[in-house]
Amino acid sequence: MATGDAQLVLPLNSTFSSAYWMRWQTPVCFLITVTPGIAAALMLCRLKRRRGCDHLPAAATWAPCFRGVPPLVLPVYRGLVVLSMISVLYSLLRRNGLVEFYFYTHLLVIFMQIGTFISAHGCWVYYRQKRRQGVEERNRFLIFNRDDNVDNHTALVTADNNSVGKLEEKRAGTWGYSMQIIYQTCGGAVMLTDVVFWCILVPYMSSAHFSVNLVMGCMHSLNLLFLLVDTLLNSMPFPWFRMAYFILWSCTYVIFQWILHACGFSWWPYPFLELATPWAPLWY
């Protein structure tokens, strides 16, 4: 059949083709992805309504959980982690370009950066308060030695106790709660990423398009190590129902990948996200 107009026929495996998204795997994978996300969002909304459920003391974001550990340890550790992870990320960017941000693995860098600033600010407030208390204790000692000023001494002790209590009971601000959410998201994201990388991608999907090098191996090994050490040191609460943040993050990432591929992207950062296979629902 002769025609004056050329027709563009897209292959079935092209994500820009409507036939790709009309496969039976697409609605099944969509339900598998969206259902846990909706359940996680509803659970978080219900728990947010409970009074005191979302209380986060400001000291929990910067104070170590061990009494013998100075508060300065956390900002120093987090700062060193940020420097090391940025150096690894820079090496990956030089090798792979901006496509490196296409992956799931860099949320921990954001957590450590926010944590470094919050820990440094918390230490500054802590040591400033401690220095102020030292001056007040010296003044109290001088006043206490005067028999006619016992009432003044009692008033100073009460004021000092109130100031310490306010420092310990102060609630975290917006950055503190943001840090807690990212921390709770990283708890599942880092575990999932490293398990997928070492147990699925490396043994079964190594090819000319995917190969492991030293820098990539360090990134996927150090992520878990850095997070575990920070978990041992910090005093932030981590109730298990907060894994809902990780579920929401994972669902958002998958939907974001679908939107990109519907707009014409053809490369999946993780091959098991490919919808054009009969095993897609099992992978999801």
- Domain assignment of residue 172, yes or no: yes
- Return the closest-CA partner of residue 85 out of 218, 197, 194, 228: 218
Secondary structure (3-state) at 136:
helix
Rg (CA), the chain: 26
Residue 13 lies in a domain: no
- Residue 230 and residue 269: Cα distance in Å, rounded? 28
> What is the pLDDT averaged over residues 75-86?
93
pLDDT surpassing 80 at residue 89: yes
Task: Examine residue 216 and state whether it is found in any structural domain, yes or no.
Answer: yes
Q: Is residue 277 part of a domain?
A: yes
Nearest to 112 by CA among 185, 183, 174: 183
Please tell me whether the overall predicted TM-score, pTM, comes out greater than 0.85 for this model.
Answer: no
Domain that holds residue 135: 18-283
pLDDT of 1-41, one tens digit each? 333 333 333 444 555 567 778 888 889 999 999 999 999 99
More confident residue, 169 or 83: 83
Write out the DSSP string of 72-124: THHHHHHHHHHHHHHHHHHHHHHHHGGGGGGSS--HHHHHHHHHHHHHHHHHH
Q: How many folded domains does the chain comprise? A: 1
Kindly give, in sequence order, each residue whose CB lies less than 8 Å from that of residue 88, ignoring residues fewer than 6 positions away. Answer: 215, 218, 219, 222
The pLDDT tens digits of the residues spanning 239-270 come to 777 888 999 998 998 998 898 888 877 778 77
Confidence check: pLDDT of 211 > 80: no
CA quadruple 80, 85, 90, 93: dihedral, nearest 10: -170
Is there a domain that residue 7 lies in? no
Structural domain includes residue 44: yes
Q: What angle do CA 230, 231, 235 make, to 5 degrees?
A: 100
Determine which helix (DSSP H) or strand (DSSP E) holds 262, and give its type and residue range. Answer: helix 244-262
**pLDDT at residue number 6:** 36
**Predicted local distance difference test score (pLDDT) of residue 262:** 84
Question: Other C-beta atoms within 10 Å of 73: how many?
Answer: 14
230 in a structural domain: yes
Does any domain span residue 186? Answer: yes
Q: How many CB atoms lie within 10 A of CB 123?
A: 19
